[in-house]
Amino acid sequence: MLITTNISSCPMSSFNFFNYCKKCLVIGGCGFLGQHLCEELIKREWSVQVFDLRKTFDNPKIKFFIGDLCNKEDLKPALEGVYCVFHCASPAPLSNNRAIFYKVNVDGTKNIISACIEVGVKRLVLTSSASVVYEGQDIKNGREEELPYAEKPLDYYTPTKILQEKFVGSKVLCSIIRKIKLNIAHNNFEFARGMANY
């Protein structure tokens, strides 16, 4: 799921922000999705920066910043001069550590939004999860964006992603795009390509 948000006062209608400015920051850019998103953005001639806890790959076309997204002072240098932030950071959903999910997905996202506003970032693209509307039953003939949040999440990860979405939606103008059927398999990176279109 993607939540594209307009943090500052830029027109949303027919505004192609990819042609407006091509400097972005991928938070969580060393993860699976983030790394493939970086590759797509570079193909589209973006100036790409990555912010993550550790550097897990090398690419001479990417500027890396190492830090903790829960520390605003770590984030600010990476955000300077950036037009769009892609927030892909999240602990692995299979963990049982509730505290780390809350710290990263909720508190970390609040920190990112606050830092983006202070520095003047214009756009934020938040990656979320289809699990926020899933309760163990197949979703048939439904428009995911019209479905209510799961009342009985199946894991510890999902409640924090729901809180994350609600917080982002309460703080900034946003539109939500959810994809339930993602064919992510070896060498299939359609999701990253789709994100690069936002």
The whole-model pTM stands at 0.78
pLDDT at 165: 87
Considering its fold, how many domains does the chain have in total? 1
Residue 167 counted as domain residue: yes
Range of the domain at 47: 2-8+18-196
Q: Is beta strand 47-52 parallel, antiparallel or unpaired with respect to 173-177?
A: unpaired
pLDDT, tens digit, 9 for 90 and up, residues 132-149? 877 777 767 666 667 788
Do the domain assignments include residue 41?
Answer: yes
Q: Which CATH number characterizes residue 38's domain?
A: 3.40.50.720
pLDDT at 190: 53
Stretch 78-83: mean pLDDT, rounded? 95
Helices 109-119, 72-79: crossing angle, 10 deg rounding: 50
Question: Is residue 13, in this structure, part of any structural domain at all?
Answer: no
Q: Indicate if 157 belongs to the active site.
A: yes
Pinpoint the alpha helices (H) of the chain.
17-20, 32-43, 72-79, 98-101, 109-119, 157-171, 190-196
Q: What is the average per-residue pLDDT within 166-176?
A: 68
Percent of the chain topping pLDDT 70? 72
Whether residue 31 is contained in a domain is answered as yes
> Which residues, in sequence order, are CB contacts of 13 under 8 Å at separation 6+?
none
| From 20, 102, 157, 198, the catalytic residue | 157
